[in-house]
Amino acid sequence: MNVQTTAIRAVIFDYGGVLMRTADPTPRRTLERRLGLAPGEVYEVVFGSPAWQELQLGRLSSAEFWSSVGERLGLDEAGVADFRATFHAGDRLDEGLVALIRDLRVARDPQVAQSGGYRTALLSNAPASLERRLVELGIDDAFDEIVISGREGVMKPDAEIFERALGRLDVRAEEALFVDDFRENVAAARRVGLQAVRFLGPTPLRQQLRRLGVAVPEPDLTPLPDVRAVIFDWGGVMEPLTDDAHDAAWAQRLGVEPGTLMEAMWGQAWRQFSIGGISSEAYYQQVAEGLGFPSAEAAERFADEFYAVKRLNPTVLAAARNLRARYRVALLSNAWPGQAEHVRETFGVDVHADFDVYVNSAEVGLRKPNPAIFRLTLERLDVAPRQAAFLDDLIRNVDAAREVGIHALQFVDPETSLAMLATLLGEDVENEF
């Protein structure tokens, strides 16, 4: 059912994190090992520095910016060139999303088609050189307007850059839809009056567009006869996760920003906990410090209350059980030590009995989107990448699985995603074989 909104005439897309995403994290992990940096630190070295903001505002050239990165890391000119190439080596353009944007321009909606389709724009916080990169990629012609902060001297979330994009598109704010992966940019666009959605992946985006009355084609899925195994995620697939409204309500209750809550619960401490790098006590101690609780015990009590509502997607679990009649079935989860016991006690599900293979990140010392954990799962299933299908709710994990060669689908809800899986497998997955 479509929500009642002003008819959309233009759709504005972000670039980094939307059209261009890091599908393979291996090159950046390689840089961190080589330079003695902590996991995730190379991202902060590049995108967390004041110089990055200056570059995005056009106050520094790309050469000056990368030179500053080299100075921080003690690299010579050749080292900087290698660092820069390696840093971006895992980035991939989403060709399917580009195709969707081109479809919007020729508009399947008859009312919009009369005026030549939806107007499209790219609005990116990026150096001015991005415009040349779009030409090199052959996608500059997918957009009616290209607005880059490095050329404008102003960047998101400043209202001014949204106003400039609207002016060049010649549409009112309420007639434009903005798509961005950062919450603060989505919120800023809404304050200006645009309709805005946070990008979580192409599949959820298609759903959001349809709800807003934007006509989009169905993705082209072809049955794959050689699939021998199906891999499921747990959180967000078998068990629904908390949503933004829940998280925001708790952040308000605690008197912290939503980003602070997210970092404390699912940031560096969680990443370490989920590969067995720190104990449960150490994890909750870091949560306590991040959220201002007096002790690790208090943080653990908070977590119990935060996750008080326990839910299961029974149709997805049933599908996994049904598939075992014809396929090898695995559960691959970024989790914590003791997840199997928790799932059994909470839902009565024995992951060792219900799945042929169970891979828990905390038990193997690897976590998605690391390609190594996908390869480990494939090895335990005894299948090649092309012989496996994978369902996960996070686009970064879907991208990484595809990079390995797995047929990956982004999970959005049981009805939609099981139907997509059935199409991929060429047979019903919800009824017993």
pLDDT-derived band at 106, boundaries 50, 70, 90: confident
Q: Which residue, among 156, 184, 272, 209, has the nearest Cα to 412 in the 3D structure?
A: 209
Q: Which CATH architecture has domain 244-306?
A: Orthogonal Bundle (1.10)
Strand 91-93 vs strand 20-22: parallel, antiparallel, or unpaired?
antiparallel
pLDDT for 219 equals 81
What's the pLDDT tens digit per position in 399-430?
A: 999 999 999 999 999 999 999 999 999 998 98
3-state class of 157 per DSSP? Answer: coil
What's the pLDDT tens digit per position in 389-404?
A: 999 999 999 999 999 9
pLDDT-derived band at 42, boundaries 50, 70, 90: very high
Averaged pLDDT of the chain:
95
**Regarding the domain delimited by 229-240+312-425, which CATH topology (the fold level of the hierarchy) does it fall under?**
Rossmann fold (3.40.50)
What's the pLDDT tens digit per position in 273-314?
A: 999 999 999 999 999 999 999 999 999 999 999 999 989 999
Domain boundaries, the chain: 10-19+93-211, 24-89, 229-240+312-425, 244-306
Q: Which two tokens stand for residue 144?
A: 């009616």
Cβ-proximal residues to 418 (8 Å cutoff; 6+ apart), any chain = 315, 316, 319, 429, 430
pLDDT for 111 equals 57
What's the pLDDT tens digit per position in 215-257?
A: 888 888 889 989 999 999 999 999 999 998 999 999 999 999 8
pLDDT for 318 equals 97
pLDDT for 109 equals 53
10-19+93-211 shares its CATH topology with 229-240+312-425: yes
Q: Using an 8 Å Cβ cutoff, are 234 and 25 in contact?
A: no
Kindly report whether the peptide bond that precedes residue 204 is cis, defined as omega within 30 degrees of 0.
no
pLDDT-derived band at 3, boundaries 50, 70, 90: very low
CA distance 15 to 396: 15
Given a cut of 60, whether residue 115 has pLDDT beyond it is: no
Chain-centroid distance of CA 390 in Å reads 15
Given a cut of 80, whether residue 110 has pLDDT beyond it is: no
CA distance 318 to 432: 9
The arithmetic mean of pLDDT across residues 38-49, rounded, is 93
Q: Which two tokens stand for residue 107?
A: 């508009």
Question: Is the domain covering 10-19+93-211 a CATH 3.40.50.1000 domain?
Answer: yes
Residue 167 is classified by DSSP as H
Given a cut of 70, whether residue 76 has pLDDT beyond it is: yes
Residue 239 is classified by DSSP as B
Q: Is 322 exposed, middle or buried (0-12, 13-18, 19+ CB in 10 A)?
A: middle
3-state class of 12 per DSSP? Answer: strand
What's the pLDDT tens digit per position in 85-95?
A: 999 999 999 99
pLDDT-derived band at 2, boundaries 50, 70, 90: very low
Given a cut of 90, whether residue 6 has pLDDT beyond it is: no
